[in-house]
Amino acid sequence: MDELLADFVAETREMLEQSGTELVAWEADPSDKKRIDTIFRFVHTVKGNCGFFDFPRLEKLSHAAEDALAECRAGRREPDSSLVNAVLAIIDRISEMTDSIEAGEEFSEGNDDVLIAALSPNAEIEVQSDLEIVEEAVVDPTTKDDSDNSASKAPRQAVQRSIRLPVDLLDEVMKGVSDMVLARNDLARRLREAGEQPTIDGPFERLSAILADVRTSITRMRMQRLEHLFSSLPRLVRDLSNELSKQVMVDFEGGEVELDREMIEMVRDPLTHIIRNAIDHGIETPASRLKTGKREIGTLKFAARQSGNQISLVVTDDGGGINIEKVTAKAIANGLYSRSEIDKMSDKQKQNLIFEPGLSTAEQVSSVSGRGVGMDVVRSNIERVGGSIEVSSKLGEGTSFHLQLPLTLSIIAALTVGSGDQRYAIPRSYVEEIVFGNSSHVEFAQAGDRRLVTFRDKRVPCLSLGEVLGIENTAHCRWEEKTLVLVRLASDDIFALAVDRVFDHEDVVVKPIAPAIMETRLYAGTTLLDDGRPMMLIDLPSIAQMRGMVGGVRTKAVEAEKVERQKKSKAVPVMLFAGLDGRHRAVRLELVRRIDTISRDAIDIEGERAQAVIDGEIVTLAGHDTGPLPDGRCRLLRLSDGERELVYIVKEVLDAADITDDVVPSEADRSIEGVTLVGGKPIPLLDGHAVFSRYRATRKIEHILTCRIPGESEWARTILEPLVEAAGYRIATDEDDCEADLAIALAEDGTESLQGARATIRLRPDPEDAGDDTIYRYDRDGLLAALKRIRTGRAA
Amino acid sequence: MNELLLMCTIAGRRAAIPAIEVQSVIEVEAITPIPGTADFILGLTALRSQALTVIDCALALGLETPCASLDNRAAVVEVEGHLYALLVEEAHDVGEARSEPVAVPGGFGEGWQRAARGMVETDGGPTLLVEIANLICGPMREAA
């Protein structure tokens, strides 16, 4: 049944009970004016409520009774027994109808006109006022089994009856139950410590279960879902927008959040006022909305969240926003502030001027808002119940009202997290998702000093809980080892809170904390862990506010480029190796040309210069500064960037692997591209760029040595040329007018030195050594050795 | 009417807390620190499933050295519905005040002056009577 209707039924029944004694007294003495007053009030109230709920029959009845009683009160009519009977009959009928309403049944048929006619002064119709008889007469004729009175009554009795209780009493009971829960937790801990005791454990389990049930019921006793408040708003919005010829759509979120019944009533009026303001001042007319490229229909969004002993309710419209200029001008014009005072204010302060008494910004004062009672009343009403209200607005984009409302009692669902060596509770209603920092779809980035995390293609600002609480330094924060709790605030702002560990979901009883702790604005309350240790409840909205995580109106996390991600998520082959210091590192496989093994003697290190000789080539050496050189054989990774080469000395080549996880960049160590996960272990990935820029790599491939060979000899072209090219030379053609690095001449062509070459190799046709520095043309080893000697001589 | 006082030592000085405000004297065991709070708030401790805010009396007075407590004795008091454990160096017996609290010309010294209701004569000699409500605010509130 509708909550409001239930309230109506409860109220009516309560008044019926109260007026019961009055009715009897009146019957005894129809002229007793005091009794008439009480009964008059009753029918009057019923009449008013009926109009609201659209019960025409009830309204007609109560209206008639009210009229008759009004006559009596005014002295125009003397109450007599027939009037008393008629009124009593009507009240009985009202009672019957109330029962029907509660049971959700149709009203029983019955001639109301007879009852009403009986009220008239000259009525001759006898009306039975005896309740029992009326009840019998009212036995639902629609029920087929008329004779079975009890059967038709049965469903009516099954209907829940409600009573009204003072809220204080409920508070007291609630507090008692909360303390019982804590005492139970304490007892549970002691029982655990004492070891297993079957005779005690069983009953204790039962006690715990019962207590849990009681706690749930007690909580429900005082709580009401915010839905009940929300459900009346669409109508209000509709009426207001019609009146102001605007089109407004409402959107609710967090209707399941429960709020103290009393609190709901306290908020109703301020909320109504905020809605009026939003529709009147905030949301523009459809025409002007279209002009500014907005949807014709404005949106009014209500989002509620529970956090500790606070409910945060955000009312956001997508209207024109607060015109600061206008507000300040008005404040000055109304003499609230001087120009210089205004100039000193921040934009936020200026926006909050709307809460000042005597300020209305609408150009035309409409019937809806802007009657002088304005946001100042709203604010004072909210502050009266211990809440707070703030506004944030962007001109042209909309306005958000952030209401913080206290919750007198609180058992909240919380997430317990660890930071440092302590546990903290975070209200679960804020937690959107939990992700691990080292997970493959989480990527960290940095903008200025702000750490960002890219998750689901959104860039989300990142806070470390340890840093917020001042127990940890961000500089030493290893983000990828953290667990990220994605927090969505009531204002839809998202940020990631990095914690060391997430423990559990727990229902916690939140107790208020001392003012001196409240001052930190970090905590919303405290609660006790099962082991009896206190645990602080983190005040997320306040932290978000302090850290500027509340971006104001509808600031959505920035979309990151998807293309970039896809490229990065491709598996990258790497080679794993152990450096000279024994630490495992990885290098992109693309960089590695081959693995060489040389003797210790082939390495020459002098100051900044380190070189190795491989296959008669001198190559720049890197990686030697991480640890002592091994004795004997040295393993080298020959790295190439496509143009240059260097060798990176390692202790051991381990394996080849694919990295699929993201590479998390490191600020501290510039020699690595970042840290990635290989087989679950963090492995630093060597930064190829840094290595090549730091160690001036051997310029080898870029400068290809040229060689002239005798062009006219067929042997030279068909046999010598491929050999020379394979050795790394380019065959100089006749177009090369510059000096070649090497010339190969055939001894039979004569002894004159070939022009245009820095070095010359002479080949002789006969195997016998002629003793003239020539090489036998089929002495392959000799020839290659000569070629290499010249090449390395140049390269060095 | 002689007020009953809990005699204790704070920062080496004789001090007294009105016994009527003291619910009990406990030995504080584990303290859960609360990061981000003023240093005189040592943290929270649990007493019979209730959380107490532990206050270091010496630091709360604005003195520089924290309580050098031997057995972590603390007086449990309730202020505005919140429970506090006032950590003192030593907690002695409950004694009677032999006089009304009086001010002393020149004051009791910075810090003490703010949190003291006055000097009372006791059997053990003159003692400073602590004003709990001021003490739990700490030295910070004073500056603000």
Question: What was the ipTM of the complex prediction?
Answer: 0.84
Q: Which residues contact A421 (CB under 8 A, 6 or more apart)?
A: none
**Taking CB atoms and an 8 Å limit, are B51 and A528 in contact across chains?**
yes
**Residue of chain A whose Cα is closest to the Cα of B137:** A516
Write the CATH number for A400. Answer: 3.30.565.10
Model pLDDT, residue A137: 37
Structure tokens at A178: 């909360």
Average pLDDT over residues B40-48: 84
**Does A507 lie in the same domain as A472?**
yes
My answer on whether A218 and A233 are in the same domain is: no
Whether A152 and A8 map to the same domain: the answer is: yes
Q: Is A422 on the interface with B (CB under 8 A)?
A: yes
Within a domain: A700: no
A532-548: average pLDDT? 81
- Name the more confident of A508 and A784: A784
User: Minimal Cα–Cα distance from A588 to chain B, Å?
Assistant: 43
Residue appearing with tokens 């019921």: A217
pLDDT in tens, A156-188: 445 566 777 777 787 778 778 877 877 787 788
The verdict on A314 and A441 lying in the same domain is no
Query: Which CATH number fits the domain that encloses residue A601?
Result: 2.40.50.180
Q: Kindly determine whether residue A528 and residue B53, on different chains, have CB atoms separated by under 8 Å.
A: no
What pLDDT does A107 receive?
66
Q: Which of A262, A387, A368 is nearest to A313 (CA)?
A: A387
For residue A418, list chain B residues with Cβ-Cβ distance below 8 A. none
Please identify, among A201, A222, A243, the residue that sits at the C-terminal boundary of a domain. A222
CA–CA separation, B102 vs B84, rounded Å?
26
Q: Show residues of chain A in contact with B50, CB under 8 Å.
A: 179, 182, 511, 528
What pLDDT sits at residue A530?
Answer: 65
**CB-CB neighbours of A499 under 10 Å:** 25
Q: What angle do CA A424, A426, A430 make, to 5 degrees?
A: 165
* Residue A772 located in a structural domain: yes
Question: In B, which residues are within 8 Å of A523 by CB distance?
Answer: 34
Residue A408 has pLDDT above 60, yes or no: no
Distance CA B4, CA B102 (A): 16
Residues A690, A762, single domain; the answer is: no
Q: How many domains does chain A have?
A: 6
CA distance A630 to A578: 13
Residue A565 lies in a domain: no
Q: Which of A750, A771, A745, A746 is nearest to A760 (CA)?
A: A745
Q: State phi, psi for A742 to the nearest 5 degrees.
A: -150, 145
> Chain B contact for A175, CB < 8 A?
no
A546 touches chain B (CB under 8 A): no
CB atoms within 10 A of CB B37: 25
Separation between Cα atoms, residue A26 and residue A623, nearest integer Å: 107
Whether A699 is in a domain gets the answer: no
pLDDT digit string (tens) for A708-717? 777 777 777 7
Query: Phi, psi (5° rounding) for residue A626?
Result: -85, -20
Check whether residue A174 and residue A47 sit in a common domain.
Answer: no
Between CA A715 and CA A719, with CA A718 as vertex, the angle to 5 degrees is 70
Confidence bin at A490 (pLDDT 50/70/90): low
What does the block give as tokens for A109? Answer: 């048929």
Place of tokens 């009212």: A138
Walk across the sheet containing A523-528 and list its strands. A501-509, A411-419, A422-427, A534-538, A523-528
In angstroms, the CA A204 to CA A196 distance is: 12
Q: Are residues A294 and A390 in the same domain?
A: yes
**Spatial distance between the Cα atoms of B40 and A278, rounded to a whole number of angstroms:** 46
A788 domain residue, yes or no: yes
Beta bridge partners of A114: none
Q: How many Cβ atoms from other residues are within 10 Å of residue B77's Cβ? A: 24
CA distance B38 to chain A (A): 8
The whole-angstrom separation of Cα A440 and Cα A136 is 74
B50–A520 C-beta distance less than 8 A: no
**Quick one: pLDDT at residue B49?**
64
Q: Are residues A85 and A202 in the same domain?
A: no
CATH of the domain at A740: 3.40.50.2300
Q: What is the mean pLDDT of residues A492-516?
A: 80
Share of chain A above pLDDT 70, in %: 78
B102 touches chain A (CB under 8 A): no
Please report which residue ranges of A674-779 form alpha helices under DSSP H. 688-694, 714-715, 721-726
pLDDT of amino acid A258: 79
Please report the pLDDT score of residue A356 as a whole number.
Answer: 73
pLDDT at A493: 74
Beta carbon pairs, A and B, within 8 Å = 78
Start-end of H helices in A397-490: 465-468
What is the DSSP track for A207-227? HHHHHHHHHHHHHHHHEEETH
Task: Look at residue A566 and tell me whether its pLDDT is greater than 70.
Answer: no
- Most A-contacting residue of B28, B29, B32, B136 (CB-CB within 10 A), to test interface: B32
Same domain flag for A106 and A231: no
Q: Looking at the structure, do residues A243 and A381 belong to the same domain, yes or no? A: yes
Among A406, A425, A456, identify where a domain stops: A406
DSSP states of A224-276 as a string?
Answer: EETHHHHTTHHHHHHHHHHHTT--EEEEEE-TT-EEEHHHHHHHHHHHHHHHH
Question: Token pair for residue A581?
Answer: 């210091």
Percentage above 90 pLDDT, chain A: 0
Distance from CA of A516 to the nearest CA of B (A): 6
Does residue A258 sit in the same domain as residue A393? Answer: yes
Comparing A59-68, A432-441, A579-588, A665-674, the range with the smallest average pLDDT is A665-674
Distance CA B38, CA A93 (A): 67
DSSP SS3 for A63: helix
Segments forming the whole domain that contains residue A586: 571-694
Phi, psi (deg, nearest 5) at residue A132: -60, -40
Length of chain A counted residue by residue: 796
Which domains does chain B possess? 4-143 (2.40.50.180)
Same structural domain for residues A240 and A373? yes
Nearest one of A635, A634, A620, A624 to A695, comparing CA atoms: A620
Is the pLDDT reported for residue A776 higher than 60?
yes
Q: State whether residue A536 sits within 8 Å of chain B by CB.
A: yes
The domain boundary residue, chosen from A141, A158, A175 = A158
* Residue-averaged pLDDT of chain B: 81
Please state, as a whole number, how many other Cβ atoms lie within 10 Å of the Cβ of residue A356.
17
For residue A193, what are its two tokens? 């410590």
Residue A331 lies in a domain: yes
Cβ contact, residue pair A186, B136, below 8 Å:
no
A194 DSSP 8-state letter: H
Q: Is residue A110 part of a domain?
A: yes
- Chain B residues near residue A528 by CB distance under 8 angstroms: 46, 49-51
Interface membership of A421 toward B (CB under 8 Å): no
Q: How far apart are CA A390 and CA A659, in angstroms?
A: 48
Residue B105 has pLDDT above 50, yes or no: yes
Examine residue A566 and state whether it is found in any structural domain, yes or no.
no
Reported as type and span, the H/E element at residue A567 is helix A562-568
Whether residue A69 contacts residue A40, with contact meaning beta carbons closer than 8 Å, is answered with: yes
